[in-house]
Amino acid sequence: MRPIAIGLTAALALAALVPTVVISAAKDKDKPAAVDAKARDAGMKATPAIVQAAGLSCNVTDARLIGSDKKTSTDYYEVACQQGMGYALAAKKDAAPAAYTCMETGQPGADGKPSSLACILPGNADPKSGLLPYIKKAGVPCEVENARAIGSGAKNAYFEVACKGGAGYIVTTSAPMNLDQDVAANSCLLYEDGGNVSCKLTDRATQLGVVDTLNAAAGKNCAIKDKRYILSTKTDNYFEVACQDGKGYVLQQASANGAFVKAIDCAQASFVGGGCTLSDAVAAQTEQAGLYSKLATKAGFDCKVEKYGMLPSDDPKKEIVEMKCSNRAEGGIGIFTATSNTVYDCVTAELNGFRCSFTKPDVIYPRLTADLKAMGKGSCTVSGSRIIGRTATDGFVEVACSDGLPGWVLSYPLNTATPKPKELLSCLQAKGVGGGCKLPTNVTKG
């Protein structure tokens, strides 16, 4: 699977979070704020309608009237919600209400003084706990140690969470927050320091600490010289490590649970974000090409590998490699394990579910021409071919002849490296195989 880079692609203009001054009911500034019965009664009566008008995901479990600004006809409330996140609300007459999360209002102002909208209801005592349902929905493993509100744009709200173990995430929710809307949590490593949306609760070195754990799980005996984050896909994160002995690896981590998936030699990792940069990937690839040359020769396929590409394998102990050869026009697909080596040429590779991309289609025509001759049809020089179908045991190749006369269909046994054709069919006989012949010179005119 090709990696998919994710992250912010544009700077976000973040709105001012809270008013600097709230004119509230008179209270003793030297005593901690308390919730009296009248303020709670007023809040419980007014806020359900305000919450609904603000579009919040909030079933009100507790509320209070913070105070009122008579000059602007604005009332301020705090609500605690069944969904977890609490809010401070600004309800102005004849205007849509504004809502600020308790995480936002809990942050001191630019002058360092506490916000007059800070949440004090018992249900909002730990504002960061209000993020837990959103983190759970995002599906990332994080036991939250710290969190902060970053700000809100026109459509989204942004939060940073620091997790036990050093990982950190930017959590993106809808604005206003709603658990029924999309939630995303992306690694802090995706964001550049100093941007509008970036991480401040953990530094990059701490975030990269997970690489040591992944490296230990890889069992490669790599004494780490250097390490870096490469990219994330929808399912996995990728990191590079350079070792003291000159070797290097890309470590794949499952984003869902943080578990180690596999280690990929730098020689084979060019498909991951451009490959390794901390170690000499070219030297590693040259060494690996030499190894594949030896394995191909051992499998009976004479190929001095000058270029190779890794194909997906559902078995971590099996390497599936396409090879381009310097000593022959036709390449092949090698399947290598610790106990066996098999190489398919580019005819039988496609029959067995693999496609050669380094080898041009016409390179295989001489091989097909020779197979026709072996089946008694030496007058046909192959000028075109295509795979037309497979059964459980055999694959079928349609061929066209350069003289324009009707071509043929060759059948080959599957799961055999360099098989000889089993059967030769005319296009008329092969009518029921994969829709029959379709190459232009093989289609019956009229």
Which pLDDT belongs to residue 295?
95
Residue pLDDT, tens place only, 257-310: 888 999 988 888 888 888 889 887 777 778 888 999 999 999 999 999 998 888
- Indicate if the pLDDT at residue 9 is higher than 70: no
pTM: 0.59
Q: CB of 313 within 8 A of CB of 320?
A: yes
Instruction: Return the higher-pLDDT residue of 34 and 71.
Output: 71
Which pLDDT belongs to residue 19?
46
For range 222-236, the mean pLDDT: 90
Which pLDDT belongs to residue 203?
86
For range 154-166, the mean pLDDT: 90
Two structure tokens written together for 5: 């880079």
Residue pLDDT, tens place only, 313-372: 888 788 899 999 999 999 999 999 989 999 999 888 989 989 899 999 899 999 999 999
- Indicate if the pLDDT at residue 5 is higher than 70: no
Which pLDDT belongs to residue 445?
58
Average pLDDT of the chain to the nearest whole number: 86
- Indicate if the pLDDT at residue 47 is higher than 60: yes
Q: How far is CA 300 from CA 174, 204, 322, 418, 420, in A?
A: 59, 49, 16, 9, 15
- Indicate if the pLDDT at residue 407 is higher than 80: yes
Q: What is the largest CA-CA distance in the chain?
A: 106
Using a pLDDT cut of 90, give the percent of the chain over it. Answer: 51
Using a pLDDT cut of 70, give the percent of the chain over it. Answer: 92
Question: How far is 441 from 371, CA to CA, in rounded Å?
Answer: 20
Instruction: Return the higher-pLDDT residue of 132 and 28.
Output: 132
- Indicate if the pLDDT at residue 398 is higher than 90: yes
